[in-house]
Amino acid sequence: MSSPDAPLDREAFVARLRAEGENRYHDRHPFHVRMHAGKLSRRQIQAWVENRFYYQTRIPIKDAIILSKSEDPAFRRVWMHRISDHDGKEEGLGGIAQWIRLAEGVGLDVDEVKRLTHVLPGVRFACDAYVTLVRERPLVEAVASSLTEFFSPDIMARRIVAWEQHYPWVDGDTLAYFRGRVTRAREDSREAIDYVLAHATTRAEQERCVDALIRKTEILWALLDAVDRAHPDT
């Protein structure tokens, strides 16, 4: 019989991470449900895009912190592409530039978006909390917090369909960020789960990884809370 402190086996640990993450993933947030159901106004879509941009800008920063916590060139080699995926190999390429084109596609003032003019305090706090989590927790937990990527390929695929159907005023070419993430997030989550399975070897460490993933879902949820509250249905 296994003791309550025995580590979960590989399958049970993955199942646990998936269940805890999936139950809390931000696609269940009322604002997000309304987004994919075509219920958001142009201004609500814009508000989401300009606020979520702050989250996007935090990604290379938290990934650089993750790099800095590793002692292993092989791990850093694998993880590093995440930074260039967002920053681009050159000006105008990469996820951040794609998000800026999305901002343009929904009719926002790109300079204001870049200057983070309309980022809500609650959005800032949530996204900064992600960077802090990654900075303060051990590497394996920081990596585990990225495992919301388990769920993002599906949400991205559904988002493209939903936006094309419900928000035809958005230039479809500007949805490139979502398209790119379908494949990329799948590969990223595979890399991350391999690392977590190899390095969270005690039950206590496994639980802290689950906790880090839950914190991350709370961050994504709080971002939508803030946008939803500031931009209610009219």
Q: Select from 142, 145, 137 the least CA-distant residue to 218.
A: 145
User: Is 121 exposed, middle or buried, given 0-12, 13-18 or 19+ CB atoms closer than 10 A?
Assistant: exposed
Q: How far is the CB of 194 from a second copy (least distance, A)?
A: 16
Q: How far is the CB of 83 from a second copy (least distance, A)?
A: 6
Nearer residue to a second copy within complex by CB, 86 or 216: 86
Q: How far is the CB of 162 from a second copy (least distance, A)?
A: 29
Q: How far is the CB of 184 from a second copy (least distance, A)?
A: 17
Nearer residue to a second copy within complex by CB, 88 or 180: 88
| Residue 41, helix vs strand vs coil | coil
Rounded Cα distance between 220 and 148, Å, is 9
- Stated as kind and residue range, the H or E segment containing 201 is none
Q: How far is the CB of 65 from a second copy (least distance, A)?
A: 5
Nearer residue to a second copy within complex by CB, 87 or 225: 87
Nearer residue to a second copy within complex by CB, 88 or 107: 88
Nearer residue to a second copy within complex by CB, 11 or 90: 90
Note every long-range contact of 200-208, with CB atoms under 8 Å and residues 24 or more positions apart, other chains counting: 200/13, 200/140, 200/144, 201/7, 202/7, 203/4, 203/5, 203/6, 203/7, 203/8, 204/5, 205/140, 206/7, 206/8, 206/13, 206/16, 208/137, 208/138, 208/141, 208/144
Rounded Cα distance between 47 and 165, Å, is 20
With b meaning 16 or more CB within 10 Å and e meaning fewer, what string describes 190-215? Answer: ebbbebbbebbeebebbebbbebbbb
Nearer residue to a second copy within complex by CB, 68 or 183: 68
Binding residues (CB under 8 A) for a second copy: these are: 57, 60-62, 64-65, 67-68, 70-71, 73-74, 76-77, 80, 83-84, 86-91, 94, 96-97
Q: How far is the CB of 64 from a second copy (least distance, A)?
A: 4
Q: How far is the CB of 61 from a second copy (least distance, A)?
A: 5
Nearer residue to a second copy within complex by CB, 97 or 197: 97
